[in-house]
Amino acid sequence: MRTLILYFSLLLFLRLLGKRQLGEMELSEFLVASLIADLAANPLQDIGMPMLNGIIPIVTLFCCEMLISTLSMRSVRLRAFLFGKPSLLIFHGRIDQREMRQNRFTLDELMQEMRSQGVRDLSTVEYAFLETSGKLSILLYPNEQPPSAGDLNVPKRITGFPRILVSDGRLIRENLIKSGHDERWLAKQLVLRGCELGEVFLLTVDDASQVYCAKKERNT
């Protein structure tokens, strides 16, 4: 019972904190996430501990994080104080060794990040920012960047993004409406592909009405 209560409480609070908590985290967010997990575990492991000893600190952390996030959004100074500022490790192709020392960022780590982002040659890097989340952002010299369709004068097809219309045999009506189609159109697409709604694993459509359809495998 305790496990269920704490689990759903955690789920609710982390959901309320927002997507940032699940993506790249700032320092305070990382702190809250790891503290919350630990706080929740204590009453689960020790049945003699009141459950409020877990829930109250979690609620307190959630409230503090919510307020700090809001205040830091409104104040640049507070944001810089709490989260720091991005550090420029490479400026105009030159490695700033002092910045690297200050951030305790080693050459091995720099090379590792370069490799993970597909950069073979350091001389192609114009800027490299060490973000406040700890991620390294690399910006190449304009000449080194891959050409875009616009650069090559290649006409691009407007496709928008694919919307899921059918997921595991179930129609998502809201997406069907947003895509500008109706059920008659969907039925026609299914007939063209020789399947029924319940047999579809995934069906998407983009703004150019390009349809992708994957049928369910027989054993599922």
Partner 1 sequence: MKRELVAIALLILMLGFLFGNLRFLGDLVEEVESALGRSAAAWERGDRQLAVSEMETAMEAWHSAAEYAHIMLRQGEIDAVSDAFFDLSAALREGEEKSTDAYLRLYYHLDSIERMDALRLSSIF
List residues near partner 1 by CB under 8 A: 16, 47-50, 52-53, 56, 59-60, 62-64, 66-67, 70
Residue 50 C-beta: closest distance to partner 1, Å: 6
Distance CA 33, CA 17 (A): 10
Residue 219 C-beta: closest distance to partner 1, Å: 45
Could you tell me whether strands 200-205 and 211-215 are parallel, antiparallel, or unpaired per DSSP bridges? antiparallel
Compare residues 58 and 203 and give the one whose CB is closer to partner 1: 58
Task: Provide the sign of the torsion angle of the four alpha carbons 17, 20, 23, 27, taken in this order.
Answer: negative
Residue 30 C-beta: closest distance to partner 1, Å: 19
Residue 17 C-beta: closest distance to partner 1, Å: 9
Compare residues 31 and 154 and give the one whose CB is closer to partner 1: 31
Compare residues 34 and 53 and give the one whose CB is closer to partner 1: 53
Q: Which residue has the tokens 């959630």?
A: 62
Distance CA 145, CA 86 (A): 22
Residue 70 C-beta: closest distance to partner 1, Å: 5
Q: Phi/psi zone of residue 200: left (φ > 0), alpha (ψ -120 to 50 degrees), beta?
A: beta
Compare residues 48 and 194 and give the one whose CB is closer to partner 1: 48
Residue 59 C-beta: closest distance to partner 1, Å: 6
Compare residues 18 and 134 and give the one whose CB is closer to partner 1: 18
Compare residues 47 and 152 and give the one whose CB is closer to partner 1: 47
What are 59's two structure tokens? Answer: 């609620």
- Decide: helix, strand or coil at residue 172: coil
Distance CA 72, CA 83 (A): 9
Cβ–Cβ under 8 Å, residues 131 and 137: yes
Torsion, CA 108, CA 109, CA 110, CA 114, rounded to 10: 100
